[in-house]
Amino acid sequence: MEAGRQAPPTATGRAIRWISRPVRLLLVLTGTLFILAWPLSVLAQGETIGGTLVYRAEGERTPVEGVTITVSQDGTQIGTAVSDADGRWEVPLPGPGTYQVSLDVTTLPEGVTLTDPTKVELPNVAVLGGQGKSVIFPLGEGQVSGVSTYERIGALFVAGLKLGATIALAALGLSLIYGVTRLVNFAHAELVTLGAVLAYAFHASGIGPSWPLVFAAIPAVILVAWFGGLQSSYLWRPLRKRGTSLLSLMVVSIGLSFALRSLIQLTFGGQPVAYQDFAGQSAILVLGIPMVPKHLVTIGVTIVVLFLVTQFLQRSRAGTAMRAVADDRDLAESSGINVDRVIQLTWILAALLAALGGIFYGLNESVSYEMGFKILLLLFAAVVLGGLGTAYGVMVGGFVVGIVVEMSTLWLPAELKVVSGLVILIVMLLVRPQGIFGTRERIG
Amino acid sequence: MDWMQILAAGVLATIGPVTAGYALSAIGLNLQFGYAGLLNFGHVAFMLVGAYGTAMTVEFGGPLWLGLIVGIVAAVLLGLLLGIPTLRLRADYFAITSIAAAEVLRLVVRSSWSEPLTGGVFGLQGFGGAFHALNPFPTSELYGFGQFVVTGRALWVILVGWALVLLSTLLIARLIKSPWGRVLKAIREDEDATRSLGRNVFAYKLQALMIGGAIAGLAGILFALEQQSLHPDAFQPRITFILYVMVILGGAGSIGGAVLGAAVFNFLFFATDALMARLQANIDWIGAILSPAEAGLIKYVLVGVALMLLMVFRPQGLLRSRDEGRADAS
Amino acid sequence: MKVEPMRPELNIAHEPGVAKADPVLIIDGMRRAFGGLRAVDIDHLEFQRNTITSIIGPNGAGKTTLFNLLTGFDTPDHGQYSLDGELLIGVPAHQVAQRGMVRTFQLTKVLPRLTVLENLLVAAKTQPGATFRGAMLGGWQGAERQNEEQARDILQRFGLIAMANEYAGRLSGGQRKLLEMARALMVGPTVVMLDEPTAGVNPVLIQSLLEHVKGLRDSGMTVLFVEHDMDVVQSISDWVVVVAEGHVIAEGPPGVIARNPAVIEAYLGKHRGEDVA
C-alpha cells in the first residue's frame, strides 16, 4: 500500500478510515446489499392474477410485449404489470377476493387491438386463497385506425425524444466517466436499472413506503448517486492506484455489471412491473400530434437537467475542473486540481443522471432487472455518435439515437428497432470512431 | 446435508456435454483472446451461427454431414465478415463493436422477419434425430456407479463432445507451437513492433478470429444437437461473459487452460447450484429469505464477482505464472 | 572523442536537399500536417547508401513523424519516397519492412512475454511455418533450426547470447535497445532506422551501443538515426541532416553542422558558445 495517502475526500470516508480494511469492505458490501435488498419486494408467493397476451392473426400466434395491465379492487388500485417478451404478466394480490382487471389500450402495439373492444376491463375476477388466477385478453388484428401519416410520424418522433431523454441522461454520465478516467464502464447500465428499481421500491413495492412516484424518485436518485460515489472510492480508485490496466478495468466493469444485474434479478424478481402513478394517461394533441403528458414531462425535465449540467460544466469551478481533468489529467493535477476528488464527483453526477434516466425509462416503458442492460448498447451508440468524452455531443447523440430507434419502426418490425441503434454504433466505430463532435485521438 | 449429492452434481456437470461444449467454445476464445489478444465480446455469435447453420440445413432436408459443414463454414464466414472491417479498431472499440454485432445477429435471427428460416421467437426443434441415431449405446441404459450415472443418450454426447475437445486442443497446440503461433503471441505483445518486423498483423488476427470462431461454431452445433432445440435467447451476451471467466480462470494463452477453466468453472457453478438448492430447502432462515428461483440466481452473482476478482488478483489464471501470462497484457 | 574521417562519396555540397552519389532512399515533396500544424514539409532529401546519417533538430521538429511516414506507420498528405528506386507510397508498415526498411522505436518495444531468442525468430524472413498453411502442414523445423542459428549469431555479436532464453521483459533498458537492433538485423534490411537509440541508456553502455551501430554500417546497411545527444552525433555520423519545424534547414558532415549558424539558431542558442567539436 502506498505510504502517505491523502485524507479521504468525504467526512464519511474519514470516519470509515479508522476501521480496518477487510471489515470496512465487508461493511460496505453488506450495507449496500442490505440497502438494495430491503426495500425491494420479493414477489409474494400468495395470490396472484396473471396471464399471457398473445396476438392471433392468420393462424399465427405472437406474444405481445409491453402492455400494461392494472388490477384494482373496489376502485383502489392494487397493482400493475407489464407483459414481458413472452407476453406473460403477473400481479401479486394482498389476499383472496374479487378484483377488476383492465388492460391499458394505449400500451398496445401498432395494429393490435382487443378482439372485443368492449372487454377492456374484466369486472369480476374471483381469486381463491393461494390461487394464481389466469385471465385472458384476446387480441387480434385491429382496424387501421384513422391515423394520418403525419400523426404517426409525429408520434414516433416524440417517442424517439422520450427514449432519447433516457439515453442522453445515462450516456452523458458514461461519457463523463470515460472523459476523466478513460474507463469504458459496462456497469453503467445497472445504475440506470437501480434508479428505476429503487424508485419502485419506495413507490409501489408493498414493502416500504408507498410514496407518490415524484417523491419516491428523490431517495432513489440520492441512493444511486451515493452508490456511484462508493464505487469510485472503494472499487475504481483502489484499482487505479494498483495500476490495473484500462482493459482489465473494463472487464472488471463487465463482471460488476453481471453481478449487479443478477443481484437485482434476485431481489427484484424476473418480471417487469410498471409504476402506478401516471399509468393510463390519455393522449392530448400538441401541434396535431397525439402525445401523452408524461412523455412531455420526461422530455421537458430532461432538457432542463441537461441544460443545468452544461451550465455546471461551463461555469462552476467543479465543472471546469472536470473538463480540465478530461482534457489533460497530468496538467490538471500539476495545476493543483485534486484529481481523485474530481473523479469521485464525476461518478456521483453520472450516477445521478443515470438514475434519473432510469426512472424516466421506467415511467414510459417498464421497470425490470435488465432494463439498463437492454439499452446499454444504445448508450454506447449515443456516446460513440457524439464523441467519447464529450458532453454536448453525447447529449445530442442520445436524442438522435432515440429518434432513429423509434422511427425505424416505420420500416422495421418493432422487435428489431434496437438494431437500428446498434447499426449506428457499428457504423460510427468503423467510419468515425471519435464521434461527430470528438477530436481524433489515437483511435485505431 | 447430502454432500455426495452435491459432489455428484458437480462432477456430472464437469464431465457432461455442457462442459464439453463450453470447453470447446472456450478453446476458440482462448485462441482469439488468450493468444492473439483480441477482445472479442461477441463470441457467442459464432456458436449461434454454427448451431443455426446446422439446424437449418437439417430442417430443410439436408443430411447431417452437410449440416455440420454448413455450420462450420458459417462460423468461419462470420469471422471474416466481422474481422475485415473491425480488426483495425482499438481494443476497447473492438470489444464494443463485437458485442453489438453479436446482439444484432441474435435479434435478427429472433425476429419475425427471419421466422420462416430460423423459427424466429419459437426457435427450431427436432433436428437432432440423425445425430442421436448414430449412438451405439442403448439410450435408456444407465452407465456409471452410485450417484454418478448417465444415460446412454448422454454418454454418446459426452464422448463426441470430449473427442472434439481433444481434437481441437491438439489442433491449437500444433498451431501455437509453430512459428505462426509465435507471430500471434508477438501481436498480442505489441502490434506495432510486430509490424515493423515485416509481419502482416491484420492477416494473423483475422485468421485467429476465423479459426477460433470455427471451433466455437462447433461448440454451438454440439449444444444444438444435444438439446435438440434451438432458441436465440440461449445465445445472449451472458454466455460470452461466462466464457471469459473460464478462459481467464484456466489461464489465457495456455494450451490446456480453456478446458481446465471450463471444467473448474462448471464444477463450482453446478456444485454451488446444488448446494444453494439444498440450503434453501433444508435451512429455515435461508428458505425464508430466498425462494428456489432466487437461490438459483446466486451463482450468477458469484460469476460476476469471480470475474472481477480474477482480473484484479489473478489475471494469469491457474496455469500460468505472473511473468509469462497475464490476461490484461499490461 | 574520435571524429570519423569523411567518406569520399560524401565530398559534396553542404546544401539541404543535395543529391547523393548513390542514394538508397529518396524523398520528394513530402508533407504531413496535423490539424493546422505542419509537422513535415520536405522538398527533397536523399540518403547516401552505406553511411550513418543522423537526423537532428529541436523537439517537435518532425523527426519521429518523418520516421513514421517513411516506415509506413503514417501516411503523408503529399509527396512520395522510394527505396532502391522502388516507390513506397501507401505501402503498409509490414510491407515496408519486408522490402528492406526496418525501424526501432523511441520507447523500446520488445515483446516482453517472449524470450530474447523468440523476439528474433519472429523477425526471421524465411519460415514457411509462419503461415497458417505452413503451420498445419508442418515440415518447418529445418528452417527453424537455420533461423535459430542465425539468431544466436546475432545475439552473440550483440553480447546478448546469455539472455537468449530469458523473457525479454526482464531485460534492462540498454539491453532492450540492443535487442531491438538485433531484431531489426534479423530481418536483413537495407536501411535501419533507429529512433533515439541512446535515449535512456546508461552512459557506460552508450559507447558499446555505438560500436554496434557502426557495425551495422560496416555490414553493408544504411543507418538513419534520430538523436538529441550532440556528442553521439559527432562521434559516429558520416552525415547530418538538420530538421526544424518540419523543414530540412541544413545538411553536411557533423563538424560543419555544429558550426552552422542556422542550426545553432534553430536550437535557440542551446549549444551557443559550447565547444561541440
> What is the tens place of the pLDDT at every residue in B188-232?
999 999 999 999 999 999 999 999 999 999 999 999 988 888 889
Judged by CB atoms closer than 8 Å, whether chains meet at A246 and B92 is answered as: yes
Question: What is the model's pLDDT at position A11?
Answer: 60
- Residue C32: half-sphere exposure toward Cβ, Cα within 13 Å: 21
| Boundary-marking domain end, from A95, A115, A145 | A145
Query: Given a cut of 80, is residue C274 above it in pLDDT?
Result: no
ipTM here: 0.86
* Cell numbers representing residue B141 in the block: 441404459
Mean pLDDT lowest for which of A99-113, A378-392, B45-59? A99-113
> What is the tens place of the pLDDT at every residue in C110-157?
999 899 999 999 999 888 889 998 998 888 999 999 999 999 999 998
* Cell numbers representing residue A206 in the block: 408493498
* For residues A151-180, average pLDDT: 90
Mutation for testing the C interface, residue in B182, B191, B207 having most C CBs under 10 Å: B182
| Boundary-marking domain end, from A94, A117, A145 | A145
Mean pLDDT lowest for which of B278-282, C26-30, C68-72, C135-139? B278-282
Per-residue confidence band for C4, with pLDDT thresholds at 50, 70 and 90 = low
Task: Please provide the average confidence, as pLDDT, over all residues in chain A.
Answer: 81
Residue A4 lies in a domain: no
Looking up cell 531484431 gives: C183
Nearest Cα to A105, choosing from A62, A134, A70, A132?
A: A70
Question: What is the model's pLDDT at position A228?
Answer: 94
Same domain, A356 and A410: yes
Q: Which of B174, B198, B207 sits opposite C97 (nearest CB)?
A: B198
Question: What is the model's pLDDT at position A343?
Answer: 94
Looking up cell 489475471 gives: B315
Nearest Cα to B205, choosing from B37, B29, B15?
A: B37
Domain of A94, in residue numbers: 48-145
Same domain, A23 and A94: no
Question: What is the model's pLDDT at position A392?
Answer: 87
Same domain, A264 and A313: yes
Q: DSSP secondary-structure letter at C143?
A: H
Query: Given a cut of 60, is residue A22 above it in pLDDT?
Result: no
Task: Please provide the average confidence, as pLDDT, over all residues in chain B.
Answer: 87
Judged by CB atoms closer than 8 Å, whether chains meet at A266 and B85 is answered as: no
* For residues C95-119, average pLDDT: 91
Distance from CA of B303 to the nearest CA of A (A): 7
| Boundary-marking domain end, from A124, A145, A166 | A145
Distance between CA atoms of B280 and B207, rounded to whole angstroms?
A: 48
Same domain, A180 and A296: yes
Report yes or no: B191 at the C interface, CB cutoff 8 Å. no
Using CA coordinates, name the residue in chain B closest to A241: B312
Report yes or no: B328 at the C interface, CB cutoff 8 Å. no
> What is the tens place of the pLDDT at every residue in B162-197?
999 999 999 999 999 999 999 999 999 999 999 999
Residue A444 lies in a domain: no
Residue A222 lies in a domain: yes
Report yes or no: A246 at the B interface, CB cutoff 8 Å. yes
Return the number of other C-beta atoms located less than 10 Å from residue A207's C-beta. 12
Same domain, A336 and A300: yes
Question: What is the model's pLDDT at position A92?
Answer: 83
| A117-136 residues touching B, CB cutoff 8 A | none
Contacts 24+ apart (CB under 8 A), B183-186: B183/C122, B183/C130, B184/B35, B184/B36, B184/B208, B185/B35, B185/B253, B185/C111, B185/C113, B185/C114, B186/C111, B186/C114, B186/C118, B186/C119, B186/C122
Same domain, A129 and A222: no
Q: Is A370 helix (H, G, I), strand (E, B) or coil?
A: coil
Q: Is C240 helix (H, G, I), strand (E, B) or coil?
A: strand
Same domain, A368 and A391: yes
Same domain, A269 and A189: yes
Helix H or strand E segment including C226: strand C222-226
Q: Which of C71, C113, C125 sits opposite B196 (nearest CB)?
A: C71
> Which CATH number is A194's domain given?
1.10.3470
Looking up cell 388492460 gives: A103
Question: What is the total count of domains within chain A?
Answer: 2
The runs of H, that is alpha helices, within A316-338 are 317-327, 329-334
Residue A43 lies in a domain: no
Size of chain B in residues: 330
Question: What is the model's pLDDT at position A31?
Answer: 58
Task: Please provide the average confidence, as pLDDT, over all residues in chain C.
Answer: 86
Question: What is the model's pLDDT at position B111?
Answer: 84
Q: Is A97 helix (H, G, I), strand (E, B) or coil?
A: strand
> What is the tens place of the pLDDT at every residue in B73-115?
999 999 999 999 999 888 888 999 999 999 999 999 988 788 8
Same domain, A116 and A253: no
Q: Which residues pair with B229 in a beta bridge?
A: B125
Question: C123-158 as b/e, with b when 16 or more CB fall inside 10 Å?
Answer: bbbebbbbbbebbeeeebeebbeebbebbeebbebb
Same domain, A20 and A73: no
Per-residue confidence band for A205, with pLDDT thresholds at 50, 70 and 90 = confident
Question: What is the model's pLDDT at position A7?
Answer: 53
Distance from CA of C266 to the nearest CA of B (A): 32
A245 CB neighbours in chain B (<8 A) are 328-330
Question: What is the model's pLDDT at position A77?
Answer: 81
Query: Given a cut of 70, is residue C163 above it in pLDDT?
Result: yes
3-state secondary structure chain B: CCHHHHHHHHHHHHHCHHHHHHHHHHHHHHHHHHHCCCCCCCCHHHHHHHHHHHHHHHHCCCCHHHHHHHHHHHHHHHHHHHHHHHCCCCHHHHHHHHHHHHHHHHHHHHCCCCHHHHCHHHCEECCCHHHHHCCCCCCCCEEEECCEEEEHHHHHHHHHHHHHHHHHHHHHHHHHCCHHHHHHHHHHHCHHHHHHCCCCHHHHHHHHHHHHHHHHHHHHHHHHHHHCEECHHHHCHHHHHHHHHHHHHHCCCCCCHHHHHHHHHHHHHHHHHHHHHHHHHHCHHHHHHCCHHHHHHHHHHHHHHHHHHHHHHCCCCCCCCCCCCCCCCC
Residue A410 lies in a domain: yes
Give me the total of CB pairs closer than 8 Å, taking one residue from chain B and one from chain C: 111
Per-residue confidence band for A271, with pLDDT thresholds at 50, 70 and 90 = confident
Nearest Cα to A38, choosing from A219, A255, A274?
A: A219
Q: In this predicted model, which residue has the larger pLDDT, B288 or B68?
A: B68
Sign of CA dihedral B155, B160, B163, B169: negative
Report yes or no: B90 at the A interface, CB cutoff 8 Å. yes
* For residues A132-152, average pLDDT: 71
Going from N- to C-terminal start, the domains of chain B cover: 3-141+148-313
B207 CB neighbours in chain C (<8 A) are 132
CATH number of this structure's domain B3-141+148-313: 1.10.3470
Helix H or strand E segment including C244: strand C239-244
> What is the tens place of the pLDDT at every residue in C37-96?
888 999 999 999 999 999 998 877 788 889 899 999 998 998 999 998 889 888 999 999
> What is the tens place of the pLDDT at every residue in A34-66?
545 443 433 334 678 888 888 876 656 778 888
Q: Angle A188-203/A339-364 helices, nearest 10 degrees? A: 60
> Which CATH number is A56's domain given?
2.60.40.10
Judged by CB atoms closer than 8 Å, whether chains meet at C135 and B194 is answered as: no
Question: What is the model's pLDDT at position A365?
Answer: 83
Query: Given a cut of 50, is residue B3 above it in pLDDT?
Result: yes
Per-residue confidence band for B14, with pLDDT thresholds at 50, 70 and 90 = confident
Judged by CB atoms closer than 8 Å, whether chains meet at B198 and C121 is answered as: no
A358 and A194 Cβ atoms separated by less than 8 Å: yes
Q: Angle B292-313/B257-282 helices, nearest 10 degrees? A: 140
Question: What is the model's pLDDT at position A395?
Answer: 92
Q: In this predicted model, which residue has the larger pLDDT, C130 or A439?
A: C130
Q: Which of B107, B297, B307 sits opposite A416 (nearest CB)?
A: B107
Query: Given a cut of 90, is residue A305 above it in pLDDT?
Result: yes
* For residues B146-167, average pLDDT: 86
Q: Is C230 helix (H, G, I), strand (E, B) or coil?
A: helix
Q: DSSP secondary-structure letter at C13?
A: -
> What is the tens place of the pLDDT at every residue in C168-207?
999 988 889 889 989 988 988 999 999 888 887 888 888 8
Question: What is the model's pLDDT at position A129?
Answer: 66
Distance between CA atoms of C110 and B189, rounded to whole angstroms?
A: 8
Same domain, A257 and A341: yes
Question: What is the model's pLDDT at position A40?
Answer: 41
CA dihedral B30, B32, B33, B38 (to 10 degrees): 180
Distance between CA atoms of B104 and B245, rounded to whole angstroms?
A: 23
Same domain, A31 and A128: no
Query: Given a cut of 50, is residue A1 above it in pLDDT?
Result: no
Question: What is the model's pLDDT at position B228?
Answer: 81
Report yes or no: B210 at the A interface, CB cutoff 8 Å. no
* Cell numbers representing residue C56 in the block: 537532428
Judged by CB atoms closer than 8 Å, whether chains meet at B180 and C134 is answered as: yes
Q: DSSP secondary-structure letter at A236?
A: I
